[in-house]
Amino acid sequence: MKNSAASFGPRVGQLIPRHKAFVIAYVSMGNATAAARKAGYMDGPASTQPGGKGKGSGLRSHASRLLDRKDISDAIVEECTRRLSADLPVNLALVQSIATGTAGSEERPIGHAVRLKALEMMLNRGGLGESLNITQKVEVEVTVRDRWEKVARMVAARGESPTDLLRNLPGPEREAILRAIEWKNEIPIDIEAEEVEE
């Protein structure tokens, strides 16, 4: 599919066809040597290339000289800007979906830090300030019982009995932890019994 002249900016449009082909290939590929090859330049002494003046040899050195030309470097900047501008609506929609959390999935949800960064980018680009600082403070209190419960869950997950692990805890505390982790084996209960005669 060939691009029409109207789809390029004035700097690209003013280039000779081979230079224009080089600019388009370079912007697409990011590799000057490969872009020169795609534009029709061949590996060999520069004097054999169209317009070559014998200043070195090889496709790489020719590509380097093309990048050094002001008209070509200006055309590269123009084409990059044109492509970025054309993709702006798609990129904005993507940033918005990240900021709202709709871009993720249940398996891989988007974290708060990434969502905040996307919001910051949108606000900055919208002219609402250079930076946005959002501080989030969360206090989590972990009790001794919470720690014991976590360790008991790990032991139970390995298929071992957490009752041995918890044997030194007071009875009600031990029972509560075993119920919390839904340990299926017998829960030992401390009871006092006295023998009565009939």
List of residues 6+ apart from 98 with CB closer than 8 A: 110, 114, 115, 118
Q: What is the rounded CA–CA span in Å between residue 34 and residue 22?
A: 9
48-95 tens-digit pLDDT: 455 544 444 588 988 999 999 999 999 999 998 888 788 778 777 877
Structure confidence by residue, pLDDT tens digits, 152-175:
777 777 777 777 777 777 878 777
C-beta of residue 92 within 8 angstroms of C-beta of residue 121: no
Q: What is the dihedral of CA 12, 15, 16, 20, to 10 degrees?
A: -30
Measured between alpha carbons, how far is 35 from 75 in angstroms, rounded to an integer?
14
- The pLDDT of 92-109, averaged and rounded, is 77
**Lowest-confidence range among 34-38, 51-55, 95-99?**
51-55
What's the pLDDT band for 131 if we cut at 50, 70, 90?
low
Mean pLDDT of the region 107-117: 78
Q: How confident is the model at residue 4 (pLDDT cuts 50, 70, 90)?
A: very low
Band of residue 186 on the pLDDT scale cut at 50, 70, 90: very low
Residue 45: name the closest of 58, 32, 33 by CA. Answer: 58
Alpha carbon distance 192, 83 (integer Å): 82
Size of the chain in residues? 198
pLDDT at 88: 75
| Whether the predicted model's global pTM rises above the 0.75 cut | no
